[in-house]
Every structure is written in structure tokens, then in C-alpha cells.
Amino acid sequence: MTEKGAIFSQNVKQIAFDDEHLKKMRARYDFFMCVAEDCADHYANIELEKSRAFNIRNKAFKYYDKYLVDFETNVIQNGGIVRWARDAEEAKYMIYDILNAEKSKNVVKTKSILSEEIGLMPFLEMKKVNIKETDTGDFICYQYNERPSDPNHSAAHKTKDEIAEIYSEKFGVSDNLNAKQLMTVTRKVLNDKYLNADTAITGADFFVADTGDIIISEDEGNVLKSMANANVNIVLVGIDKLIPSIDDISVLLPLSSLYEVTKIKAKSFYTILSKPGHDNSGNQKLYIVLVDNNRSTMLEKELQRRIMTCIECGGCHNVCPIFNTIGGHVYDNAFPGPVGAIQSIADGYENAAHLATLCASCHQCEQYCPMNIKISDLILRNRIEIVKENALLLGEKRFFNFMMKRVENRKDMDKTKDFLNRLEFKQLIKKTWGVHRELPVFAEKSFSEIWRSINDNEG
Ligand code: SF4
């Protein structure tokens, strides 16, 4: 097992039997089920809309080389600047260089899963950049020095009381504030940052080939506030977020907001960023940093590339029984849950092995996916490739080889149950099975043994 895998299983063992944590995850799941209840009623024919959305994303992948060039050409014509980053290191240094070149002193940042993926915040903080996160959920997580636990609801693993406690410690306020008061404290802390910001770093939902536009959706208004005062806007976006035409957002944006808590199933704000703004000095700048970081490797995979059509609605991990047991922090990638587990194959078979086991094949996620992605099948595909490549999972491989030999022959199979019931075997398997679960006891006699003895007695 890789070091990553070993740390991962250690963390899983700790969290999976933490009753407090399970209670929070259960509440989260129940809440999501209420939100998701009548989503399909918002469409006359949701299946038709899902296939439209899939065709849009697939068309983008088919003509990627052309569309990427079209996008860059359009951005330049609009007065923006495009930078291309091959990997996380390049992207981080690229942003750092832009901040230096623009002499940025006060930087505000908005939510971006990609920035978590490349570790942007810790990197810029290490470089002594004065930067502040403005998304409320992420802001709360940073008070704990934690990364967001969920791509859509970053601080869903914290209770109101826990947040009140940390706010009291960090901002000297009372430790029994209610949710509304906690929001007021957050706004007060951040308002100063918005007013003094010279640079904003944002993520993006999509970028559009035929116009050079950037599409950003949000609920809090922090993206708009961040960009309003900043003279320099840096948009960090993965190359997979490309869509062919501005018309496509009429299909994709409603679907990506399908599980919003509001009745109208829409985000509060949608921004189309077309060109740098113009202040009196006319020196506003718009940089778009396009990041690959293994996305092209993923797009080369005939089957798994289907996951790149994901529009980050959050449906799959909200219903995943594995995610709802272990939570998002245990996953060692920025997009926890089934999506991240599939995408991890682009980081190499060894790095993906421990995540490929995180699927119970319940297929619940697929019922909620607005892009009709066969999520469980793709995780299974990862497993097949990992086993074929002999990349880890060796323990499982040996165990199943042993079992396969045993089940080939009826008599051997009958003997196997004695072995499985023996204490040495139980001790052996305890390591992977965990100390909290009891191994099932195999019946003393198999069906064929019972059948034989009935027939023998009758004969
Ligand atoms: S895979 Fe599907 S359900 Fe999961 S986040 Fe992406 S679009 Fe939503």
C-alpha cells in the first residue's frame, strides 16, 4: 500500500465509528433527501434535458483543440490574458508571478475546488501573500486550519455551536451566537477585505469557446463583491470546464443548481465575465489561468473521461453511503466522494487503488446525477484497470485467488468454511475488516452436505 493509502485507511478507521460524526452525516443526508424530493418536477421532461446536457459536454470534448484556441482568441480580443498551466506547481507559481507583477497587496479569494486541488491557499500563505478566503463555508474551515469537507457545503461537518465556539476564540465574540449573528460576524470581518482588495482570485463554472466568457455562479454575493473593487481579476479554471457556446448555459446552469435549497432551484447570482472592467485609470486586468493537472490524461481514457462531464451539482456524494459514513476530509483529493475516486485514476494506478474500493455498488448516485453518468460502473472500471496493472490491492488479490481455487470444487468449498470459521483466519482478516465488525459465522453444514445427509438417511 502507498503511504497515501496507509494514512487513508488509518483515518477511515478513526472516523467511520465516531458516533458524533455519523449523527452529523445522517442529518446532512436527511436534509439532502428533502431538498432533492421534487427536483424533477421543475422540468417538463428532465430526461430530455439530461441528454441535451450530455451532448453539450461531449461535443466540447470532441472538438477540444479547436474550442480551446477559439476561447483564447476571444479572450484576447476582449482584452483579457490567458495563461496555460500544465500542473499544480505551474499554476501556483503562475498566480504568484501575476500577483508580484501586479504588485498585489490585498488579495481576496472565492470558492474554487481547483484551488483546493492545487493547494493554492497554503502556497500563497507560505509566500507571505496577504490573502483572505471569502466563501463563508471555506472561511469557517480555515478558522480550524482545515480544508473544506464537501465541495458544495464546505462546513457541513460543523455544528452551529462548534462554529460559535471558534468565532469566540478567533474574533472575541460571545460563544453562544445564533446562525444569523454568526453570519453578521463573518460579513463584518470580510467587508473590510472587500473594500481594500486590489486583486480577486475566483473559480468558474464554465468558460465559453464562442465568446471568451467566464460563467460563475454563487449564493452569497462574495464573488461579485470581491471583483467589484479589485483592479486585477484572476480566474482559475480547469480545462474540462469548456463549453462550446454561450447558449449552452441555459441547459447546464439550471441542472447544476438542481439541488439548491431554494424553491426555485437556482443560485442567487450568476455572473458572465466578458472583459476587464474599466475604472477611471482604465487599468483593470483580467487573467484566466487554464489548468490541465492531469485532465488531459483523464480525457484520453475512453470510459472514465465520462466523469469529466460532471457539473458539480453535489448529488452523488450526498447520497453515497460511503461518503455519508466517512465524510469528505478522509478523502485525499479536493473533490471527495465518487467523482474524486474516479478522477484519481489520472494520478496513476497506485494513487487510485485505495479510493477505487470506496463503492458499495448501490447505484444510488446514478439516480441523482443530472448528467446521467454511470458513476459506479466507472469506479468498477478503475478497479479492473488497477488489478490488471497489478497496482496494489495485492492482499485482496491473494485472498480472492485463494477463494476462487476453493470454490471451483464442491468438496474444497465445504472444507473452506471450516477454515473461515477458525480463529486464526479471523485474526488474520481483522486487520482489514476492522475491530468494530464481527465476521459472519459460516453455517456448520453447507447446503450440499445437508442435502447429502438427507438423501443418505432416506436411502
Ligand atoms: S457526477 Fe453527476 S451527481 Fe455527481 S456531482 Fe457530478 S453531475 Fe452531480
In the predicted model, what is the mean pLDDT of residues 405-417? 74
- Name residues whose C-beta falls within 8 Å of residue 74's C-beta, 6 or more positions apart in sequence: 209, 210, 211, 212
pLDDT at position 280 is 56
What digits encode the pLDDT tens for the residues 260-301? Answer: 887 777 888 999 999 887 665 667 899 999 999 999 999 999
Over the stretch 319-337, which tens digit does the pLDDT of each residue have?
999 999 999 888 877 888 9
Confidence of residue 431 (pLDDT cuts 50, 70, 90): low
Phi/psi zone of residue 48: left (φ > 0), alpha (ψ -120 to 50 degrees), beta?
alpha
Pocket of ligand 1 contains residue 258 by CB under 6 Å: no
Architecture of the CATH domain 1-28+303-392:
Orthogonal Bundle (1.10)
Which CB contacts under 8 angstroms, 24+ apart, belong to 124-131?
124/92, 124/95, 124/96, 124/99, 127/96, 129/96, 129/99, 129/104, 130/105, 130/106, 131/107, 131/201
Distance (Å, whole) CA 220 – CA 32: 20
The answer to whether residue 436 scores a pLDDT higher than 60 is yes
> What are the domain boundaries of the chain?
1-28+303-392, 38-293, 407-458
Ligand 1 site, residue 39, Cβ cutoff 6 A: no
Ligand 1 centroid distance, CA of 368 (Å): 8
For ligand 1, whether the C-beta of 312 sits within 6 Å is yes
The protein residue with its alpha carbon nearest to ligand 1, atom 3, reads 369
User: From the alpha carbon of 317, which atom of ligand 1 is closest?
Assistant: 4
Q: Is the CB of 342 under 6 A from ligand 1?
A: no
Q: 313: CA distance to ligand 1 center in Å?
A: 5
pLDDT digits (tens, 9 = 90+) for 346-403: 888 888 888 888 898 999 999 999 999 999 999 999 988 888 877 656 666 777 777 7
CATH number of 38-293: 3.40.50.10420
- Residues above pLDDT 70, as percent of the chain: 93
Q: Ligand 1, from 313, 317, 319: best to mutate by most atoms within 8 Å of Cβ? A: 313
pLDDT at res. 435: 67
Work out the average pLDDT over 417-432: 67
Supply the residue whose CA is at minimum distance from atom 1 of ligand 1: 310
